[in-house]
Structure 1
Amino acid sequence: MSLKSFPKPSELTVPAGAEGWEKIYPYYLVFQDKLKEQEDAKFWFCDSQHWPTVFKPFETIGGEFAVKCLGQYNARHLMIPNANGIEFRIHLGYLYMSPIPVPEDQIAARVPLFEQRIGHYFQNWEEKLKHWHVKVRGTIDEMERISFPKLPDIVPMEDITSGKGKDGSEKLLESYDRLIQLAYQNWQYHFEFLNLGYIAYLDFFNFCKQVFPNVPDQSIAAMVQGVDMELFRPDDELKQLAKLAVELGLQAHFRNTDDVDATLGAIAAAPGGDRWSAQYDGAKDPWFNFTVGNGFYGHDKYWNEHQEIPLGYIADYIRRVDEGQEIMRPVEALIVERDRIIEEYRELLEGENQAVFDAKRGLAATAYPYVENHNFYIEHWTMGVFWRKIRELSRMMAAEGFWSGPDDLLYLGRNEVRDALFDLVTGWGVGAKPIGPDFWPEEIERRRGIVDALKTARPAPALNTPPESITEPFTRMLWGITTEQVQQWLGAGETVEGGGLRGMAASPGVVEGLARVVTDADQLSEVQQGEILVATVTAPSWGPIFGKIKATVTDIGGMMSHAAIVCREYGLPAVTGTGSASTTIKTGQLLRVDGTKGTVQILDAESLEELLVTGPGAHSHSHV
């Protein structure tokens, strides 16, 4: 049975224990009763690609800054003719988005502005990108210098003699405000080039579709694939370290990588170990500013703070090198394949069209690597420093009695943290006890209960009635929210022969293998050689497991999602944007993944019967 629309926000059941959840988030992030008619008229999709788990109140900062800054480049900077920004709300703890179209009568007036603005960027690409790196590094360096020391018992005498006239508490408040501002600053920079990368790619994509009506989306992507990308550097560094360890005969020291100090100490003391240690230290800064998550949550683990993670990956690579496996990415083969596809299509064109093809492809190939590379500088590096500083502040306030756990601050909104800081400096300044220690511990526990209750339900993939067609370019390219895909989620799309799921044909090839469902980065160590990874979403830092797996299947994501790009670079089949793979498929089931057609078949008879009874779309609502 096919449905015409997804549930309305008010039709979703609030999990037991999560009553009053709306109050833990800012008013402007939740659906409003007074605006029910307008909000129910819009189509909202869940961005579980970037926010796969429930927000703690402080963590909404990532969603707010990211989506706001994405929108500003569409609607205010670049004046993209057919796309404004994206409205967003949190519902039952998950982030939902609704693209804002440009009214038909305003599109034409934006075209000359758009052309002038993107023309300036593309003509000065190298210089502007170099300056971008300087700006972003400057922000990160300033963040590193921020600290949150305990306030002194007494203002130092030199502050009296110098006539400073302040007690030092202003520095604490300024440091907090500045940390938030710096995070905001790098999120603005984040989208300066990202939207251009998509625009250049889409321009080439649309041109190809026009002159080669039957060209597969994957072939277009292959023509611009960025082989030498900074986002692959952390993983490449680990591979080089593994190869060096084998060359130096250091394998025996990687038996218990969970004990970081003992492992590094034993290597340093071994013959040739100093050479390996020097290369390890060189790789660590900056390439270990890398998270196993995506940088949007306070609980994300970063390699430089949890070195057992990269050391564990190195140990696995050492095992594979010793077994005679080729662990490096097939870069040469990718280049040969890319050039072959370019030539094949180019030869079909004549005269002026050939020159247009060259120009558009050249621009897309120049701009495309940024689509992934920026992730390292913003989501990974900037946010790694940001969360580390926030934990430092949380520990300082825990020591002042405001709460007990080192991460409890995450249960306050960022503006509430500002209030709590003012409460702290007021009590300290006047010599009285602040109110926070009697207010926050109980409130944090109450909120923790709500967040935990919200986590018991999976989000609905979308809300309300989808539009006739979806045109917003980022919605299509990044999230894979296309008209066809939405129909598929509703159960109205084309059925998969033999039953199964349909998604985006994100990376070509057909394989069969056993499923490994991963919903959390902590489960990555369970992935076995030759399995098929099934996930709500993958993170760029999962690179080391792409050498083990046969294919990838995700719930959400388009041609330009991380999973799609990484799988193409590793030569693995991928089907993205299935809507419900991670809740439909179980670990150990036999799958056939066809990344060329975009289908996933479950070959186990028992699970197949269940799927045929309930229908592929049913599972997306089964936990709501």
Structure 2
Amino acid sequence: MTAQVTMKSFPKPSQLPVPEGAEGWERLYPYNLVFQNLSGAEDEKFWFCDSQHWPTVFKPFETIGGEFAVKCLGQYNTRHLRIPSANGIEFKVHLGYLYMSPVPVPEDEIPQRVPEFERRVSHYFQNWDELLASWHRKVRATIDEMEALIFEPLPEVVPFADIESGKAKDGSEVLMENYDRLIQLCYQNWQYHFEFLNLGYLAYLDFFGFCKQLFPDIPDQSVAKMVQGVDMELFRPDDELKKLAALAVELGLQSAFSDTDDVAGTLRRVRELPGGEKWVEAYTAAQDPWFNFTVGNGFYGHDKYWIEYQEIPLGFIADYIRRLDKGHEIRRPVEELTAERDRVVAEYRELIDGDELAAFDAKRALAATAYPYVENHNFYIEHWTMGVFWRKVRELGSMFADAGFWAQRDDLLYLTRGEVRDAIFDLVTAWAVGAEPTGPHYWPAEIERRRGIIDALATQRPQPALNTPPVEITEPFTMMLYGITTEQVRQWLGDDAAAEDSTITGMAASPGVVEGPARVVQHADELGQVREGEILVATITAPSWGPIFGKIKAAVTDIGGMMSHAAIVCREYGLPAVTGTGTGSTTIKTGQRIRVDGGAGRVEIIED
């Protein structure tokens, strides 16, 4: 099988066809993000598509999320923590999608990095609580400063008070400074994002490796079970909705939730009922900060946030109310998860003694302490920070739309962030000299041209990988987070000889075996179609899909490893899951009856 893998390859970037209408797509993105030398090393190096975090085509401005996230991941591996076996990840945009290639550490450098790595990591683990509290203060201060930024049209004339005070500035500098500051604050929180994230993975991987050393045949899921059942802040938004649903039932307000798409009408109907004001007060209190939550993943300007689209949380609340009225349990099974965790820990502890037992306890405790951050950071950065960021971008886009630069506020997303700076200077220059800006004559047609290219790129699904893969995938982050394993690559290449036509294989992400009808969801807007007892099949799930996890029987995703958000969330909801199937969402059809074996990583199509 190994020899067979070495003979096969994914297409080279230069071999992929450009969709009709997308010609010239490369010029939409910064020069350093596209492959420049398609006959050289870039056409040889192995790349995989990170459609786990970036499942749709980038508009030019949206590359900021990919650039900041992957750059900051790299800085902590390479420059902060000096991880011996892992540098950062090189990244490029090809045909609108993000591709990654892990940067290896030369073998002779690994021993040199170990002492400094141990010193730096030890500092964090020995001062974890204090440093994490500081992290929360830093992140919240960044969000607060971002919230305070304003983008307002310039006045007809400078106020006379500015003449009297000798201010000698016209206010245009505030507009330019605020735009630059918005970008810097976003970048700042992405640097903070990775301060603890890689430590969470490292602690888990250290415990994982130790368990594999002691028990070579231990299932990966048994290791995962030993840190499950924790109280995560990422689940707070969903928990708040459940509390609000329970309060509505307690107060007898069910009739007010008949049409939650009408937000104002729903809240008015609630207020008109006895106890309604009490409920609205609780609903308002829950919004800060827990409604800073998106049904997407925060990386795109089109992601919808609960705080701005309140029909989304109200719809989830209405569904919880219906389930409560039917006598269903809507709480996450934390007690069962903790009991199972304690049982598995005790079972393995009985097999160890002496120094190895002390090491086992210490490593497990450290993994359990650091593990929650792997999910919790998601709320503060991808959801809260990016929600504020995109809201401010739309405010700026609206200001430009009012000035005639383009038609809709979201049209700004078709510019690169450097072009936005140019547009700002165009606007303030024309205002200052009393002339007409160039933007209204240039940008509308150019944005429509670019929109056509983006739409054309979106008609073609990304290749899962590019060029020739290594014989064995060994880099732990790549396997744990992305589910890019040797077996997965073989399946992509069609080398999985064991696979049957009716069987899809992937990562055994969360245990359990269930059967049920499939519900294929390609976009968060389709979540309302999910029915009770169905099995969710998706490219990837988002943490904010929690409200439907109480309805489904299992989850199947195309992308993700044991430590992906989808895998962790499914384990914490007690749902069987198979992640990293590669083709689950395109092979399985809604309504087909399927069997999911989360322990074996197998999905079988039983019948149409």
**Counterpart check, 1:204 vs 2:245:** no
- Alignment check: 8 A CA contact 2:14 2:43 kept: no
- 1:37 counterpart residue number: 40
SS at the partner of 2:460?
A: coil
SS at the partner of 2:143?
A: helix
- 2:374 counterpart residue number: 371
SS at the partner of 2:100?
A: strand
- Counterparts of 1:409-448 in structure 2, within 5 Å, are 409-448=412-451
CA distance in 1, matches of 2:479, 2:199: 15
**Counterpart check, 1:345 vs 2:345:** no
- Alignment check: 8 A CA contact 2:480 2:562 kept: yes
- Alignment check: 8 A CA contact 1:498 1:601 kept: no
- Alignment check: 8 A CA contact 2:504 2:581 kept: yes
SS at the partner of 2:380?
A: helix
1:80 to 79, 83, 86: 83
**Counterpart check, 1:480 vs 2:483:** yes
Q: List gaps (5 residues or longer) in structure 1.
A: 606-624
- 1:27 counterpart residue number: 31
Write out per-residue CA displacement over residues 473-524 of structure 1, whole angstroms, 9 at most, x where no aligned residue. Answer: 2211110111222112212235235632110000011111111111110000
SS at the partner of 2:578?
A: strand
CA distance in 2, matches of 1:294, 1:231: 13
- Alignment check: 8 A CA contact 1:226 1:365 kept: no
**What's the offset of the Cα at 1:282?**
1.5
- 1:192 counterpart residue number: 195
SS at the partner of 1:460?
A: coil
SS at the partner of 2:40?
A: helix
1:294 to 294, 297, 302: 297
CA distance in 1, matches of 2:592, 2:22: 33
**Counterpart check, 1:406 vs 2:409:** yes
**What's the offset of the Cα at 1:585?**
1.4
- Alignment check: 8 A CA contact 2:229 2:334 kept: no
- 1:232 counterpart residue number: 235
2:165 to 162, 165, 169: 162
Counterpart of 1:246, as a letter, is V
- 1:576 counterpart residue number: 579
- 2:274 counterpart residue number: 271
Write out per-residue CA displacement over residues 74-121 of structure 1, whole angstroms, 9 at most, x where no aligned residue. Answer: 010000001000000011110000000000010000000100000000
Counterpart of 2:321, as a letter, is I
Counterpart of 1:12, as a letter, is L
- 1:539 counterpart residue number: 542
TM-score, structure 2 as length reference:
0.98
Counterpart of 2:256, as a letter, is H
- 1:451 counterpart residue number: 454
CA distance in 2, matches of 1:492, 1:427: 61
Counterpart of 2:263, as a letter, is V
1:5 to 2, 6, 9: 9
CA distance in 2, matches of 1:538, 1:275: 34
- 1:138 counterpart residue number: 141
- 1:355 counterpart residue number: 358
Most deviating of 491-500 and 595-604: 491-500
CA distance in 2, matches of 1:583, 1:482: 20
- 2:154 counterpart residue number: 151
1:599 to 593, 599, 602: 602
SS at the partner of 1:407?
A: helix
**Counterpart check, 1:319 vs 2:303:** no
- 1:177 counterpart residue number: 180
CA RMSD of aligned residues (A): 1.1
- 1:620 counterpart residue number: none
SS at the partner of 1:152?
A: coil
- 1:622 counterpart residue number: none
- Alignment check: 8 A CA contact 2:77 2:83 kept: yes
- Alignment check: 8 A CA contact 2:229 2:341 kept: no
SS at the partner of 2:88?
A: strand
Q: List gaps (5 residues or longer) in structure 2.
A: none
Report the identity percentage. 74
CA distance in 1, matches of 2:40, 2:517: 46
Most deviating of 219-228 and 369-378: 219-228
CA distance in 2, matches of 1:516, 1:294: 21
**Counterpart check, 1:261 vs 2:264:** yes
- Counterparts of 1:554-573 in structure 2, within 5 Å, are 554-573=557-576
CA distance in 2, matches of 1:201, 1:43: 27
**What's the offset of the Cα at 1:408?**
0.3
**What's the offset of the Cα at 1:471?**
2.7
Write out per-residue CA displacement over residues 281-317 of structure 1, whole angstroms, 9 at most, x where no aligned residue. Answer: 1211110000000000000000010111000000000
**What's the offset of the Cα at 1:392?**
0.3
CA distance in 2, matches of 1:226, 1:118: 25
Most deviating of 186-195 and 496-505: 496-505
- 1:331 counterpart residue number: 334
1:551 to 550, 554, 558: 554
SS at the partner of 1:105?
A: helix
- 1:614 counterpart residue number: none
CA distance in 2, matches of 1:367, 1:398: 45
Counterpart of 1:178, as a letter, is R
1:69 to 69, 72, 89: 72
- Alignment check: 8 A CA contact 1:200 1:367 kept: yes
- Alignment check: 8 A CA contact 2:510 2:576 kept: yes
Counterpart of 1:29, as a letter, is L
CA distance in 1, matches of 2:11, 2:531: 38
- 2:51 counterpart residue number: 48
CA distance in 2, matches of 1:226, 1:373: 14
CA distance in 2, matches of 1:31, 1:498: 36
Counterpart of 1:601, as a letter, is E
SS at the partner of 1:488?
A: helix
Counterpart of 2:448, as a letter, is E
2:115 to 85, 98, 112: 112
SS at the partner of 1:262?
A: helix
CA distance in 2, matches of 1:407, 1:281: 28
- 1:621 counterpart residue number: none
CA distance in 2, matches of 1:416, 1:283: 38
- Counterparts of 1:605-616 in structure 2, within 5 Å, are none
- Alignment check: 8 A CA contact 2:414 2:450 kept: yes
CA distance in 2, matches of 1:600, 1:172: 54
Most deviating of 434-443 and 275-284: 275-284
**What's the offset of the Cα at 1:426?**
0.8
CA distance in 2, matches of 1:349, 1:518: 45
Equivalenced residues, count? 604
- Alignment check: 8 A CA contact 1:190 1:378 kept: yes
CA distance in 2, matches of 1:506, 1:518: 19
Most deviating of 482-491 and 255-264: 482-491
**What's the offset of the Cα at 1:141?**
0.1
Write out per-residue CA displacement over residues 40-73 of structure 1, whole angstroms, 9 at most, x where no aligned residue. Answer: 2211000000011100000000000000000100
- Counterparts of 1:388-403 in structure 2, within 5 Å, are 388-403=391-406
- Counterparts of 1:212-231 in structure 2, within 5 Å, are 212-231=215-234
